Structure 1
Amino acid sequence: MPPKVLYIDDDPGIGRLVQKTLQANGFDVELAYSGDDGLNLVRAKPYDIVALDHHMPGMVGLQVLKEIRALPNPPPVVYVTGSEDSRVAVAALKAGAIDYVWKDVQGHFRELLMQAVQTSLEQERLRRDMEAAETEIRLARDRAELLLKEVNHRVANSLAIVAGLLALQRHSLSDPGAQDLLDQMSARIIAIAGVHRRLYTSQDVTSVDLKEYLTSLIEDLKRAMGDAGHNHPVHLNCVPLSIPTDKAVSVGIVVTELVTNAYKYAYPDRADGEIRVDVTLREGQVVLTVEDDGVGLDKTQMAGGTRLGTRVMTSMTSSIGGKLAFSGGDSGTRAMLTFPV
């Protein structure tokens, strides 16, 4: 079907000449001789494009343009003006016209109008194609995010089942060393599951709110360590901060190791000793500390030991480009993890 054009001009003679020119180039052209008539036609019929004259009795072109642009899914409008005042053309473009044409007395504007209509229709087609492509991309992204949330949900549930099975296995063992190994493994699984749990409840699957994640992780560790007979208050202070998902997993595992170590070793003869977790930002670095007031740790062993927990923390710290350092003596231990935001 040929493109449908509505030309609005109060001069019937010019209107018929424009109609003849456009029809000769494959357009289906309808005429309106006033702004009101043109608006009624635009409201009643679908047009691919409207060409609109400026000087008309009653409702001038700028008023008609404003009314057309206010309609749902309005057609593009080419503004035609014989005024030599450039401010008219500027006002039309600001009001939403896609293009404008100077109406000269010799009638050459008809060829220019035809070119403007052709160009404007092509621009409108490209705009619609781009909108359709953006919509499809957005829908595809939404589908992918929904699928990813479902995957995270299933992974979190599966990890929770594994942690539960480890807990059952622990209760069937009498060897304290074996029980401790299962406790450590269960805590690491809880840390990883916590990230996936945060992801399937979040609108953003690329990052994790660190404060929310650590709050949930610490509560999980409290329950797990309480079941193992370790009960100490843990206080968290964390600045508002989101970090990439892969970093959150590594940070969670390091925090799990540090907090469980403090639970098990910091207060061997006390039930009231507290553990403090603090997260701040300093010169583009995240500074995370885990601190207690207990008996202190053998820093030499922590810095160069070969225990599994130490190797796990070293690996996780390296994966996020961070550094892990220990300080303290006989009156407590302070572990500091620093890594780039």
Structure 2
Amino acid sequence: MTKQKEMEEQIATSLREKEILLKEIHHRVKNNMQVVSSLLFMQARSTQQPEVRDILLESQNRIRSIALVHEKLYQSEDFKRIDYKDYLEKIAHHIFESYQISPGTILLKVRSEDVFLSIEKAVPLSLIINELITNSIKHAFPKGLSGEIRIDFSLENSRYRLIYQDSGPGIPDKGAIEKPDTLGMQLIRGLAGQLNGTVRYETYQGFGYIIEFPA
């Protein structure tokens, strides 16, 4: 019994050490990405060229969306999954801040079940959401126009479903969605492929996307 107890204690100690190491890894990854994100933001503020500024801000937001995943993992008791409901609101508000959206200009409505995602699913989905919100800010609500963004995230029949809508004018040419030539739209389709998911464009009162992928 003594040897068995010693082995159990050794296993428990080993697991604690691995948890500490994993937590430290997520913390360092988050910090390194924060540094890169800050450098991109500083560069964006220093340039006088609007097109260059937009490219740098978009890159900064992509990095930040990944960093937030690692931050949530670092703060979580479970280092394998994150509470995605809380993450959704955080990443959306960060993007609003980076584009200096005045409070109340764009109303954000997030409705999500208590869903926990692994890092393998959280990172691609986070980048997709970043691209969708960025697209809405640039094209649906340019120059400070007001509007509304809705994000619904749920789990149904072992499949996750993300419904994204904005109240902008929409996209009159559906071919631009089916054969996207912008980096953002190409990223959305490529990242959905990483999730083994499907992407469907829907016309609501504005622009809408439905993305589904297996749990």
In the superposition, the TM-score normalised over structure 1's length comes to: 0.59
Matches of 2:211 and 2:133 in 1, distance apart?
Answer: 13
Amino acid at match of 1:204: D
* Equivalent residue for 1:235, pick from 87, 105, 109: 109
> 1:132 Cα deviation (Å)?
2.4
> 1:270 Cα deviation (Å)?
6.1
| Structure 2: stretches of 5+ with no match in the other structure | none
Superposition pairs of residues 65-214 of structure 1, within 5 angstroms = 124=1, 128-214=2-88
Contact 2:115 2:154 in 1 (8 A): no
Aligned to 1:304: 179
Please give the secondary structure, in 1, of the residue aligned with 2:147: coil
Matches of 1:270 and 1:176 in 2, distance apart?
Answer: 16
Rg: which structure is higher?
1
Aligned to 1:92: none
- Identity of paired residues, percent? 29
Matches of 1:299 and 1:231 in 2, distance apart?
Answer: 27
CA deviation vs aligned residue, 1:207-241 (integer Å, no higher than 9, x gap): 1111122122122112112269x952221111011
* Equivalent residue for 1:282, pick from 144, 156, 163: 156
Matches of 1:132 and 1:326 in 2, distance apart?
Answer: 59
Alignment partner of 1:337 is 2:211: yes
Going from structure 1 to structure 2, the CA distance change for 1:269 and 1:197 (only over 3 Å counts) comes to: closer
Matches of 1:166 and 1:325 in 2, distance apart?
Answer: 32
* Equivalent residue for 2:203, pick from 328, 337, 340: 328
CA deviation vs aligned residue, 1:259-280 (integer Å, no higher than 9, x gap): 1111111123663201111112
Matches of 1:194 and 1:334 in 2, distance apart?
Answer: 25
Going from structure 1 to structure 2, the CA distance change for 1:244 and 1:293 (only over 3 Å counts) comes to: same
Matches of 2:178 and 2:5 in 1, distance apart?
Answer: 57
* Equivalent residue for 2:127, pick from 232, 253, 263: 253
Matches of 1:340 and 1:199 in 2, distance apart?
Answer: 21
Matches of 1:130 and 1:324 in 2, distance apart?
Answer: 53
Cα RMSD (Å) of the superposition? Answer: 2.1
CA deviation vs aligned residue, 1:85-118 (integer Å, no higher than 9, x gap): xxxxxxxxxxxxxxxxxxxxxxxxxxxxxxxxxx
Higher RCO (C-alpha under 8 Å, 6+ residues apart): 2
Contact 1:266 1:293 in 2 (8 A): yes
Contact 2:47 2:53 in 1 (8 A): yes
* Equivalent residue for 1:266, pick from 140, 144, 150: 140
Matches of 2:21 and 2:71 in 1, distance apart?
Answer: 14
Count residues with an aligned counterpart: 214
Please give the secondary structure, in 1, of the residue aligned with 2:100: helix
Greater helix fraction, Structure 1 or Structure 2 = 2
Please give the secondary structure, in 1, of the residue aligned with 2:170: coil
Going from structure 1 to structure 2, the CA distance change for 1:243 and 1:296 (only over 3 Å counts) comes to: same
* Equivalent residue for 1:215, pick from 89, 98, 104: 89
| Structure 1: stretches of 5+ with no match in the other structure | 1-123
> 1:131 Cα deviation (Å)?
3.2
Please give the secondary structure, in 2, of the residue aligned with 1:305: coil
* Equivalent residue for 1:294, pick from 168, 173, 198: 168
Please give the secondary structure, in 2, of the residue aligned with 1:205: coil
Aligned to 1:101: none
